[in-house]
Every structure is written in structure tokens, then in C-alpha cells.
Amino acid sequence: MSMIRVDLSGLRARLAGLEEAAEVAARPAAQAAAQVYYDRMVRNVERIGRQTGNLRSALYQVYSQDHSGPGRAMYHISWNHRKAPHGHLVEFGHIQRYKVYVGSDGNWYTAIRPEMRGKRVPKRGASQAVKDAYYVPLATPKHVAAQPFVRSAAAAAPLATAAAEARLRELIR
């Protein structure tokens, strides 16, 4: 019987080095993927068309310390809901029940019945009848179609994966 001896200490050292390099490279690789998604979202919002520009300026990407750890990095890519509270209406569509207008300041407003001016605005959870008595309803409610800018950015997954892999390979070498 023959015996072969192999010294694997060099391989073990190389693998340990790769593991350490992979941990360091996780965040830049995740950022490369996040950038692809962010760029696609920006492009999607610009495709929709500009009304006020609030939605475009509300897009962000940020590193999530809470969801990241050793060898793992996560980025959140979305829109700031305070800057563009209407983002979900654009993304998912909605039913427009009331007349709207653009004020002299460039903002959109819901038309109020003349006899209701100066009275308290209905609360968010108010009944439909209370809201109908306060706002000027359309003759027929209008369906405003969804213009997805976040969900359609998911189609960039292969590009995001490729960007992350390329950045990972670049940093591990």
C-alpha cells in the first residue's frame, strides 16, 4: 500500500485570506448591486414624467446597519415618504374620487365645497359620507393606473447580481 502526503497548510491559509477578503468586500459588492437598482428606479421615475420633481428628489439608497453584519451587507432603496407621500399612489395606482387642482404654489390640492371652507378637514378615518360632504366629488370616480417605479426596477436583478459579482471579484483578487 502506498501513502501520499499533501501539505494543505498553504491552501488553508489562502482560504482563510479569501474568507477575510470576502467579509471586507461584502459592503462594496452590495453597494454595487444597490446602485444598479437605484439607477433603474431613477430612470423609471423620469420615464413617468415630472410634475413637481418631489418623487425624483425623494429617492434614496442607504446602508442598513441593523440588517448588516460580518460578511453581510444590506442597502435600503426606496423613496422618502415625507418628501413624496404620494409615492405609493404612483407605484400602485388609486381611485380618484374628488376634483383636484394645482395651487399658485405649484402643489396639488383637493377641491373643497364652498360651504365647507373654514371648517375642519375630515380626519383620515372619517366615513366616505363625511368626506363626500366636505370635498367636491367627481361625477364618476377615475381609476389612475399604476406606474410602478420600484417593482419594475426588480427586472434589473441580473444586472445587479453581475455588478455585485464583478465588484466582489475585483476586491478579492
* 71 torsion bin: left (phi>0), alpha (psi -120 to 50), beta (else): left
Distance CA 70, CA 169 (A): 18
Tens of pLDDT along the chain (173 residues)? 555 565 656 656 766 666 777 777 888 989 999 999 999 999 999 999 877 788 999 999 999 999 888 878 899 999 999 999 989 999 999 999 999 999 999 888 999 999 999 999 999 899 999 999 999 999 999 999 999 999 999 899 999 999 988 998 888 77
pTM: 0.76
pLDDT (tens digit per residue) in 116-163: 999 999 998 999 999 999 999 999 999 999 999 999 998 999 999 999
